[in-house]
Structure 1
């Protein structure tokens, strides 16, 4: 874009987006801190699902911590000098950290879905579950339900994120051109340069790969459940299948509602940026920013999603708001222990 003053934010950007981020911030911080506290007190952390959920809560808190910077950027970025400290902080700690943390949540959600699906590989009696193939793909899926693999997998994800973040910040600092644009809110920040576009394209491919993996898990489980319903009566094991199916469906809905619109629009955004049309440019940037806000909103809604995915979390949360006497405290502890044993048995 040759016209450096072409990009001008509308009230939808300078008013609506800061208000939305300001509303999402307290809900996300309080909800995820509550989830982290409950996990630390009641959750059997040795289980694979809680390893993934603990890392998911961490990524959510990281996304929520960037919301004040994003709100400040959209409210006043069109008045900040491009090389100012506020601009650098909003760009690096706001948009950049939020985006990389968002892909951590996508990777972990995909891992949770595979872990849920892989629970059906556990032997029921003398025969393994027919829902999971016994070939190489089945063996690979079984790894996602092993706590040791889950820990290493999450560590690798975070290391990749740290490397990407450090590389991007270093590149932006070394190649900054403060005099090229009059304000911090400019097309270079909003669209990114060539390395950022390449990274964004790769991230979009990774998202659609994760999306298709979760969709495949749901389709395979649905087909298997439909087959056994025709041939046998639904027993206790099959009710477990239904619970796993519901959990994978919740993850699929999250990916579809919160992340799919943004990743469908991103290639369109890059293609249409080639035209030096100022009104179109402003519309494209504002649509992108609102779809990014929709993706970030998922981190604030995750405690509600955890209520749908995990019964122990629901029981623990209920216990926080009910009076407990010393006599029935021991009884409640027994209930949590029994829940943990049952979940260990069926996962």
Structure 2
């Protein structure tokens, strides 16, 4: 790399603030996601498509959260480690690499959940959907995202792809270590990567923007669709269900916008400006990148809250784990809206 000789000097923001943030996110994320796993395993209907996606989303979140201690130690002590040390290898492989690939699993699954929500609502609100589905490739693809079997296969493919990419990257990094020597672990090669890492990052960035635009298009199409059916008919009591699905897609869009969009806008800028030989500028660029990465990783710790927003049935069952059973005659009244929501989602 052209700037491999530049000696990075981390500021207090990197050596103090980032470790504190990661150390705070770790227990909150682990506790919240383990609680989500427990709730899903005890009370969730395993055959529902939504819960297949949620189970894989929580798994990816746990992987991201499990890397946070390694990242906290790396940012607080990495500038003191030698590049060939075991600690540097662990922080680089178990920290940065696994965190990044797990983040992209969450992005793809969030996109799949948005498509599933949009497709189920359109299917249930469009009287001609079943007749047109075989004639319209777009609707056929949307319908697939609502099928539990397809959801399982999609998640398996995503994880296999992630495992292959992770294994390949680790092997490549181990082999490349012998070709170039650095004194410290916190260096421009670890922070920016080699040419192959840049190619992989470019593909990942493209994957994010495809997912981002897909969710945005789903929300736009859903808004237009609801506007159309409101003009042509009275949706009455189903209005709450339509509003819930619209809100769910909006929540996913907001998560992608707030947590992931800043990082993916900055990443191409970061690689373009790496050609600059000014070391102070490179230090600032690396620190901005690391804070935006931290913002993206924070999403995994906040995801249990997002899950509660996305699924009222999940919220009800989580509440039921900590309360006494509700009498049947009262439970029947409480479940009216929940049953209606399940019919739309299935």
TM-score, reference length from structure 2? 0.93
Q: Distance in 1 between matches of 2:341 and 2:231?
A: 27
Counterparts in 2 of 1:72 and 1:125: CA distance versus 1, 3 Å: closer
1:216 aligns with 2:217: yes
Q: Distance in 2 between matches of 1:259 and 1:133?
A: 36
Q: Distance in 2 between matches of 1:224 and 1:33?
A: 37
How far 1:77 moved relative to its partner? 0.3
Q: Distance in 1 between matches of 2:14 and 2:223?
A: 42
1:317 aligns with 2:318: yes
How far 1:243 moved relative to its partner? 1.4
1:49 aligns with 2:47: no
* 8 Å Cα contact 2:79/2:185 also seen in 1: yes
Q: Distance in 1 between matches of 2:288 and 2:169?
A: 24
Counterparts in 2 of 1:329 and 1:76: CA distance versus 1, 3 Å: farther
Q: Alignment length, in residue pairs? A: 344
1:137 aligns with 2:135: no
1:150 aligns with 2:158: no
1:230 aligns with 2:228: no
Q: Distance in 1 between matches of 2:315 and 2:122?
A: 26
* 8 Å Cα contact 2:312/2:338 also seen in 1: no
* 8 Å Cα contact 1:9/1:282 also seen in 2: yes
Deviation readout 1:12-53 (Å, 9 max, x if unpaired): 000000000000000000000000000011111110000000
TM-score, reference length from structure 1? 0.93
Counterparts in 2 of 1:165 and 1:333: CA distance versus 1, 3 Å: farther
Q: Distance in 2 between matches of 1:94 and 1:307?
A: 28
How far 1:129 moved relative to its partner? 8.6
* 8 Å Cα contact 2:262/2:292 also seen in 1: yes
Q: Distance in 2 between matches of 1:190 and 1:10?
A: 15
* 8 Å Cα contact 2:215/2:253 also seen in 1: yes
The equivalent residue for 1:259 is: 260
The equivalent residue for 2:106 is: 105
Question: How do 1:279-318 and structure 2 match up within 5 A?
Answer: 279-318=280-319
Counterparts in 2 of 1:79 and 1:139: CA distance versus 1, 3 Å: same
Deviation readout 1:284-318 (Å, 9 max, x if unpaired): 00000000000000000000001100111111222
The equivalent residue for 1:243 is: 244
Counterparts in 2 of 1:2 and 1:241: CA distance versus 1, 3 Å: closer
Q: Distance in 2 between matches of 1:27 and 1:239?
A: 32
Counterparts in 2 of 1:244 and 1:219: CA distance versus 1, 3 Å: same
SS at 2:177 equivalent: coil
User: Relative to structure 2, which stretch is displaced further, 297-306 or 169-178?
Assistant: 169-178
The equivalent residue for 1:25 is: 26
* 8 Å Cα contact 2:74/2:91 also seen in 1: yes
The equivalent residue for 1:269 is: 270
* Runs of 5+ consecutive residues of structure 1 not aligned to the other structure: none
Q: Distance in 1 between matches of 2:138 and 2:339?
A: 28
* 8 Å Cα contact 2:6/2:279 also seen in 1: no
1:344 aligns with 2:336: no
